[in-house]
Structure 1
């Protein structure tokens, strides 16, 4: 499909020189519309033969986009239902986002910008309340405590993870695992790939029956139960009360209560020490880059000499510049979330005394994981909407499809970093070569 360029003979004009909405879209995108755009005022732009499109259904959607340019405004309009996808399911808008992937917005000259403002009018340019799924902006979250304080971390985790256990069951599948799976092939089932991920982490940590494992940010306890089934005594902690309740019930149903516990707690409140291993699977994104030294120091102190840490974390493909998330992710998905490169993670782990013995990038695996979550959301769309409402379901479809694209395009990555705690004599604590099956 060729990129659309506006043809003056086909551009909709009005007698009072008021720009139609589609013309405004053409102007701010440089005319490079990769799909069909239509609007409630009857205007249209983009290639007629595009299989995908967007329909701006109401003035409310126009206000969202005009008053918060970029991904946040578009997301508000999409979540509220005022920007409708065409040719894709709202639970899996990946093809549409892929088509939009190279679209960029241009700031018009001042004269043209003034013309756009006059065309929109004061009513459309007056900010309105965002959809109810949106969290407060960073500067207003101070009432919940300083960033990454225990109270504020608890609140933002509640925002994201306490949506509904039933909703997560529909999206994540039977494993109830909300982290990157490990695929042996592109066609492997999601459940097998999640089991494979836990198998890999278990082996990397050299766990044996009778060992003690601390699993921080344990979610619904899948790693906890995987290890307990193999004779390991496991403590899992999560800031989500709903996750902890679900996990404890699953532990009881499997008869693992003598070996496994999931505690509703901040990981910083764990008092036990001397663990043989620690798994941190998807927690580091919530810690805050400035808190990495304290985070790794705490984990180092919890291990015995020779104990291993497996840190599983979404990362950036570099170690410079911005660490804060963009507007949509910060307001709708991971409030206060921060990402940096694997180099920064390795550096901070080393600085507190870990010997880093291995790291690997699994970004392709996360793209496949997100692909399968989107398939689940689309397949269970009616049940998900009945459980959490269409707006929240749209948030998840948009977020997961966009994240899949991010991993595919190397905007984000997923790294395993494996470290070992040395003794004062600094003697090696692990075998000469990797001991796990890749």
Structure 2
């Protein structure tokens, strides 16, 4: 068996990709824009151990399999983002190759693959899951995200809008949807590096509290707040959103937190946010969703293993229904999936621009996870496999009044 032909067989016919392998074999389209290189028997071991998307991911993350060319172009070239199932005969041939190469099979997954223990979405397990992704390196995130340190979908006026301008526009859109005014109190749950907290305090004179489960994020945000001279208005705490003791907030923003909540906790999540608002208070929930309400929240794919452990994406209808049933009157909703594709493209460009420094900072395996995750997610938003929804709700007063004008003001 020639290895290059075997790998090509997994991807299906007609794919304009060149395949080469350490045994000297070559297959596919010569001089294609994308080349798959099998550099070590370890790649075969990963693929044979998990003959699905996860096996290829493990091979790539470890460097045993290399993608030469732009990662986004590579993923877009393949008809599917998961390989065809290995036939029994092909799997046997792979096993023979591994025996000859004296490579153990199955192979242990890379250390970057998350393995959590304890009750799903308990406070302790959530803290570990968040730390896995966010407590990587603030320097690494500064290279990828840019000066805004905003790790959520930006809002683009045009395709040529800069990432920084688009992130400012996102925070300002949230602020206007929440109708923020000087003297109001804002709670930002899952606040990241404090972008919304700082924006609300700096541009709207709002007293803003942000909470995050990432110690790195909280430390960075507090330093940024001090540098901006906003210490009298803004604060970020290293705290689970369920641990906030204050109430009677005029507004709550949740930008990129709902994905981490879990379907089983969705009702209690919105109930908690509802209880923290004063009458007439608004909630803006901004999160990634599935493209429909028919799919289960898959929890055993590449994103869950390597990027967002315990993350669960729900359909937009599930989010809206739960907000409504909790007591919020839903006043506005919009899908920004094309904006997230543009955001991820900008992050991907930043990563490639700082690739050498990024590898030195977080290691080659972690950097490869990010390259794969951002390119794949960009493709997912473009193909409507995932979406980004902002849903605006209000807590009515005891006479059913919303305080909304007749037409939107944002």
Instruction: Verify same fold: TM over 0.5.
Output: yes
Q: CA deviation at 1:428?
A: 3.3
Is 1:249 paired with 2:219?
no
Q: Within 5 Å, which residues of 2 pair with 1:369-380?
A: 369-380=343-354
Q: Does 1:159 align with 2:159?
A: no
- RMSD between superposed Cα atoms in Å: 1.6
Report the alpha carbon displacement of residue 266 of structure 1 after superposing the two structures with TM.
0.1
Aligned to 1:338: 312
The answer to whether the 8 Å contact 1:133/1:332 transfers is yes
- How many residue pairs end up in the alignment? 408
Q: Using the alignment, how far apart are the partners of 2:365 and 2:86 within structure 1?
A: 32
Tell me which moved more, 97-106 or 51-60: 97-106
Residue matched to 1:193: 166
Q: In structure 2, the residue corresponding to 1:55 is in which secondary structure?
A: strand
Distance 1:402 1:372 in 2: 14
Q: 1:116 offset after TM fit, Å?
A: 5.0
Q: Which runs of 5+ in 2 are unaligned?
A: none
How far residue 217 of structure 1 moved from its aligned partner, in angstroms, is 0.3
CA distance in 2, matches of 1:275, 1:110: 60
- CA distance in structure 2 between the aligned counterparts of 1:110 and 1:62, rounded to whole angstroms: 15
Structure 1 alignment gaps of length 5 or more: 1-18
Aligned pair partner of 1:400 in 374, 388, 405:
374
Who is 2:327 aligned against? 353
| Paired residues of 2:288 and 2:313 also in contact (CA < 8 A) | yes
Q: Deviations over 1:366-393 (max 9, x none)?
A: 0000000011111111111121111111
- C-alpha displacement of 1:39: 0.9
Residue 102 (structure 1) shift: 3.6
Structure 2 CA distance for aligned equivalents of residues 267 and 30 of structure 1: 46
User: Counterpart in 1 of 2:73?
Assistant: 95
Which of 318-327 and 52-61 deviates more? 318-327
Q: Separation in 1 of the partners of 2:81 and 2:385?
A: 15
- For residues 160 and 25 of structure 1, do their structure 2 counterparts lie closer, same or farther at Cα, with a shift above 3 Å needed? same
The equivalent of 1:16 in structure 2 is none
Counterparts of 1:303 and 1:177, CA distance in 2? 25
TM-score normalized by structure 1? 0.90
Of residues 108, 124, 135, the one that matches 1:129 is: 108
Question: Could you say which residue in structure 1 is the equivalent of 2:151?
Answer: 178
CA separation of 1:217 and 1:327: change in aligned 2, threshold 3 A: same
Q: How many Å apart are 1:77 and its aligned residue?
A: 1.1
| Residue 324 (structure 1) shift | 2.2
Distance 2:88 2:218 in 1: 54
CA shift in 2, pair 1:178/1:109, >3 Å = closer
1:66/1:125 contact within 8 Å kept = no
Cα-to-partner distance string for 1:271-298 (whole Å, 9 max, x where unaligned)? 1000000000000000001111000000
Does structure 2 conserve the Cα–Cα contact (< 8 Å) formed by 1:316 and 1:413? yes
Is the 1:324–1:336 Cα contact (8 Å) retained in structure 2? no
Instruction: Find the structure with the greater CA-based Rg.
Output: 1
Q: Kindly indicate whether the alpha-carbon contact (under 8 Å) linking 1:67 and 1:125 is maintained by their aligned counterparts in 2.
A: no
Give the aligned partner of residue 384 of structure 2: 410
Q: Distance in 2 between matches of 1:166 and 1:112?
A: 44
Could you say what secondary structure the match of 1:214 adopts? strand
Deviates more, 1:319-328 or 1:34-43: 319-328
1:426 deviates by 2.0
Paired position in structure 2 for 1:274: 248
Change (3 A) 1:112 1:370: closer
Which deviates the most, 323-332 or 341-350?
Answer: 323-332
CA distance in 1, matches of 2:301, 2:86: 22
Question: Who is 1:4 aligned against?
Answer: none
| Cα distance in 1 for residues equivalent to 2:129 and 2:286 | 20
User: Which of 236, 254, 266 does residue 292 from structure 1 map onto?
Assistant: 266
2:50 is aligned, of 68, 83, 100, to 68
